[in-house]
Chain A
Amino acid sequence: MEHRFEQATGQLIVRMPREVDHHSSGQLKQETEALMGRYPVRGLVFDFRDTVFMDSSGIGVILGRCRNLRFAGGRTRAIHLNRQIQKIFQISGLHKVIDVEL
C-alpha cells in the first residue's frame, strides 16, 4: 500500500486499494495501523483515487482507524470518492462522521 507522511502537518495519506472489500480490508487495516504506530499522526487521509469499488468492509476499516485517532485528538478525511463510494458513505452515515472531499 502506498502512503505518504507529511512531517510539517502530521498528515498520513493512505492510498486505498483498487477494490476495498473483505478480501483486501484485513491487510489494509494492518498496514494502516502499523503506519499510525510508526509516525506521529495528527491527521489521517484515506485517498480513494485508485479505488473503483468499496463495500461495507471498508466502513469498519475507516471507522476503526478514525476512532483510534480521535482518542489522540486527530481528524480523519476521505478524498477522491467515485459515485459508488459516495453512495456507500451517504447510506451508512459515514459522511457525517468524517470529512469528505470529492
Chain B
Amino acid sequence: MVRKEMKMEFTSQSENEGFARVAVGAFIAGLNPTVDELADVKTAVSEAVTNAIIHGYDQKEGKIFITCQVAENQVEICVIDTGCGIADIEKAKEPLYTTRPELERSGMGFTFMEAFMDEVWVASRVGEGTRVTMRKRIGKA
C-alpha cells in the first residue's frame, strides 16, 4: 500500500487560510476526488485553521502545523496549534456553541468538520494546544 505524506508549517495570519486549503486540495488531487469531495475537505481544513488562528492564538502570532496523509482511497489531515487549548471539548463541538459571539462567530465550525469528513477527533489541553484529526474516504460514492 502506497502511503504519501506531506507536512506544512505556517504562521497564523488569516491570509494563510486560503493557502492551507489550496495546499491540502492539491495534495489529495491524486485520489481523484469529485468536485464535492474536494470542497468538503477544503471547508473542513478552513474551519480547523481558522479556529487555530482566532481561538487558539487569539489572533496573535503563532505557528500552525498541518500533516496530511493519503493511503488507498483515504485522506487523514491533522491541524495542530500550540495555543490556549479547549477546556470542554464536548461543549465546543456542540452546534451553535461559540465563545466569541462578539466576533460574529456562529459556532458551526466543528459541526461542518463533522458533516464534511467521515471522522473527526479533537485532542486538546488547556495552555498547550489543540490537535484536530480528520479522516475521509474519497471516491466511495
Contacts and interface: CB of A to CB of B under 8 A. Distances in A.
Interface residues on B, range: 20 to 34
Contacts of B104: 29, 60-61, 63-64
Main secondary structure of the interface of B (DSSP, over half): helix
Contact of B18 (A19, A87, A92): A19
B106 A23 contact: no
Contact of B39 (A21, A53, A60, A63): A53
A93 to B, nearest CB: 9
Contacts of B42: 53
Contacts, number: 64
Contact of A22 (B43, B54, B108): B54
A19 B54 CA distance: 18
Interface string A54-83: 011101110110000000000000000001
Main secondary structure of the interface of A (DSSP, over half): helix
B36 A56 contact: no
Interface of B: 14-15, 17-18, 21, 35-36, 39, 42-43, 46-47, 50, 53-54, 103-106, 108-109, 111-112, 115-116
